[in-house]
Amino acid sequence: MSDMKRWLQGLDLEKYCDAFASQDIDLEVAPDLTEQDLEKLGLSLGHRRKFMAAAAKLRQAAAASPAAAAVARQQVERRQVTVVFTDLVGSTALAGELDPEDLNRLLEQYRAACASVITRYDGHVAQYLGDGVLAYFGYPRAQEHAAERAVRAGLEVVREIGRLQRPGGQALQARVGIATGLVAAGEMTVSGDIREQTVVGETPNLAARLQALADPATVVVAPATHRLTADLFDFADAGKHLIKGLAQPVPVWKVLGERAAESRFAATRSALAGPIVARERESAFLLDAWQRAARGNGHIVLVSGEAGMGKSRLVEALEEQLRGESHRLLRCQCSPYHSNSALFPFKQLLRRTAGIAPDAQAEENLRRIEAMLARFNRWSRPALLLLADLLEVPAADSLSPMEMTPAQRKAETLAILEDFLLAPMEGEPVLLLLEDAHWSDPTTQSLVERLLQRIDTERVLALITQRPEFKTTWASHPQATVIHCKPLGREQCADAAPAAGSSRRSRRRLPAPAND
């Protein structure tokens, strides 16, 4: 592949490769082309602007180091990348309605909102293409769960853009297309410090085509992205569509939202879980701790281990043992995407417990919060308003600064949550699971510290999974015990092999030693 063709592909202008080749235009000539030259070659106005901006970088490089910039070079590697393409709905109409300066300010807000969300999920904003935003997940930095991050980012971009307003007060809307696949990824070196990170292949083109199929304020994904995230999100089949450049119709799915799973383990692996092996001592300790807690000697067990050591499977095994017993199960899941969101795992738990529905009227959701508070004898007007605020449910009434200072609001909110978590509904002991505490926020950590102060007299066993690098003072408390999930030895792995074979025969895989 010629350097000129590779450069054009990086700009998404590969359809003009033949036109440039027919006129013997290479990267040495490209910086000197005028807009009239480009128009004669058949480039549209938008593509001429894109070409001229990129050519300006070549000229800058040539001025700095003519020899180094004679030819753009690119080091390419094959990578699986998830590409997100975001488009602003109705941008052409906006351009005709708004003053250019107003339009520019609006586009700046739109791009800033997209970039903020994409960066929050560790994506990379590759290009701004007019009102389009192109982003990569899994490149230039490899990352876990790139497709999941991309879908979460797409959903949040749609929400964030919906909060922006044009001068007349109407809400803006975005549409998002997401595709995952193998690409040729690399850093295009123009000269010196002037570099561009690009991916070339079918995937970025597919993402761009998909967003054009999306309804306003929706996210659509290609087959590979759907396959990688089907356990985490709810989808609606959007049918098969003919995509320009592809021979066969492509199945498309619309993302409806995050699936209501109580834990990441349950969402992705529990259905495939086989028997737990080589953790007999740890399992026996957890069962004994539960039996003591059920008699009123509450305890917190910290299950620590590296990713893949079986922490979640160990906790899940105890929950399986207790399914025949009467108990109250409370499962909270920390998230790497919400480590700065105060009390995120407990807010999710409260929403599930109260039955808060995003599409329900605020009055209905308030009644559900009120009913939940009444079930554990904690109802009061301040408690109702504090939980409504925590769960982002609008309320006609509010607490004034004279009634409660910010510090008092925080302390009372934690006290309400503390009572909620420790309350033995109808006399049932409580099994509280807090998973992946290494992603917890400081306020969640404060709540755990409060639980430690009174759990010894409660009928509660709290199991907290965490990675070794997560440092707190919890383990030093007399009502806390640490279990370390260490790698299995050779003999233990040999013992696990027959169970693994049995799981394969039953189309189930063995996650016990290998899951988090």
Within 10 angstroms of residue 418's Cβ, the number of other Cβ atoms is: 16
Q: Give me the mean pLDDT over the 74-78 stretch.
A: 69
Q: How confident is the model at residue 266 (pLDDT cuts 50, 70, 90)?
A: low
- Cα separation, 158 vs 168, in Å, equals 20
Superfamily of domain 264-348+412-505: P-loop containing nucleotide triphosphate hydrolases (3.40.50.300)
- Residue-wise pLDDT for 31-57, tens only, equals 888 888 888 888 888 888 888 888 877
Task: State the angle between helix axes of 344-354 and 442-454 in degrees (0 to 180), rounded to the nearest 10.
Answer: 70
Within 10 angstroms of residue 185's Cβ, the number of other Cβ atoms is: 23
Q: Name residue, tokens 């085509």.
A: 209
Q: Name residue, tokens 């009928």.
A: 459
Q: Evaluate whether 442 touches 410 at the Cβ level (below 8 Å).
A: no
C-alpha R_g of the chain? 28
Helical H segments across 276-405, by residue range: 280-294, 311-321, 344-354, 362-375, 381-390
Is the model more confident about 109 or about 4?
A: 109
CA trace torsion 470, 472, 477, 479 (10° rounding): -50
Measure Cα distances from 358 to 30, 394, 417 in Å.
53, 12, 21
Residue 326 pLDDT > 50: yes
How much is the mean pLDDT over the chain? 84
Within 10 angstroms of residue 427's Cβ, the number of other Cβ atoms is: 8
Residue 490 pLDDT > 70: no
Whether cis (ω within 30° of 0) applies to the bond prior to 204 is no
- The burial class, CB within 10 Å (0-12 / 13-18 / 19+), for 181 is buried
Residue 192 pLDDT > 60: no
Secondary structure of 127-140 as H, E, C letters: EEECCEEEEEECCC
- Residue-wise pLDDT for 116-143, tens only, equals 999 999 999 998 988 899 999 999 888 8
Six-digit token string for 154:
């797409």
104-111, Cβ contacts within 8 angstroms, sequence gap of 24 or more: 106/164, 106/166, 106/167, 106/172, 107/131, 109/164, 110/161, 110/164, 110/172, 110/174
CATH fold of 3-64: DNA polymerase; domain 1 (1.10.150)
Find, among 185, 189, 161, the residue nearest to 175 by Cα. 161
- Where are the domains positioned within the chain? 3-64, 75-258, 264-348+412-505
Coil, helix or strand for 195?
Answer: strand
- Cα separation, 226 vs 318, in Å, equals 32
Q: How confident is the model at residue 290 (pLDDT cuts 50, 70, 90)?
A: very high
Residue 512 pLDDT > 60: no
Percent of the chain with pLDDT over 90: 50
- Residue-wise pLDDT for 357-412, tens only, equals 877 899 999 999 999 999 988 989 999 999 999 999 988 888 877 789 999 999 99
Q: Evaluate whether 480 touches 293 at the Cβ level (below 8 Å).
A: no
Residue 67 pLDDT > 80: no
Q: What is the pLDDT of residue 35?
A: 82
Q: What is the pTM of this model?
A: 0.68
Residue 514 pLDDT > 50: no
- Pairing between β-strand 250-258 and β-strand 132-137 as defined by DSSP bridges: unpaired
- The DSSP result for 196-250, as a single string, is EEEEESHHHHHHHHHHHHSPTT-EEE-HHHHHHHTTTEEEEEEEEE--TT-SS-E
CATH class as words, domain 75-258: alpha beta
